[in-house]
Structure 1
Amino acid sequence: MATDRKSRYAKTPRVPWVRADGSDVDLIGLAPRPARPAVFARIATDTDRLDTLAARYYRDAEKLWRIADAAETLDPFDAIRPGAPIAIPPDK
């Protein structure tokens, strides 16, 4: 499986897997979550999404994983709950 060299998964080890039909495939292994201390937090609204917050604070919607990594949950869709604080880490 090809991965863009700028992807956070570019250096993640591949895991061999055998499908039910017997064919082999390489899956991307789990990447460790980097520690991302927050610079500040904002209270989420019902219209907030990780990509729009990344575009606002980093000027790049594809940096949404920085915010997801700072959240306590692994699932980026669970990272935003209206009324809950959202940790915004530095852009580094």
Structure 2
Amino acid sequence: MLYRGSRYAGTEVIEPVNSQGEHPRVLALRRLEPSPGVIEHVVLEGERLDHLAHRFYDDPKKYWLLLDANPGELNPFELLKPGRRIQVPRNRVVSP
């Protein structure tokens, strides 16, 4: 069950066939639109996504905004290599 205001709220529920022939209900891939109002941040030694989310959004649970804005990197630890430039989007989510 998805709560109203969830970033997954508009995502389609699909039932693909898995290797056992079952049809589990799962969410389809979520389409990521380009992030508006992006700034660039150079990662410093020891920074974490929750700390950056707290700094930029005043909410450590919004770390996923940083992940969404940097879709070329699937591993969050690679995203946080010191010296790397990452995109920091404007806070596009209002907390429920």
TM-score by structure 1 length? 0.78
State the 1:12 CA deviation.
0.5
More strand by percentage: 1
The number of equivalent residue pairs is 91
1:9-88 correspondence runs (5 A): 9-75=8-74, 77=76, 78-88=78-88
Letter in 1 for 2:82: P
RMSD: 2.1
- Distance across 2 between alignment mates of 1:22 and 1:42: 46
Go from structure 1 to structure 2 and tell me whether the alpha carbon gap of 1:44 and 1:38 turns closer, same or farther (over 3 Å shift): farther
CA deviations over 1:3-37 (Å, ceiling 9, x no partner):
23222112100110344555432011100112114
8 Å Cα contact 1:51/1:61 also seen in 2? yes
Where in structure 1 are there 5+ consecutive unaligned residues?
none
What is the percentage of aligned positions where both structures have the same residue? 30
Letter in 2 for 1:56: R
TM-score by structure 2 length? 0.75
- Distance across 1 between alignment mates of 2:7 and 2:26: 15
Where in structure 2 are there 5+ consecutive unaligned residues?
none
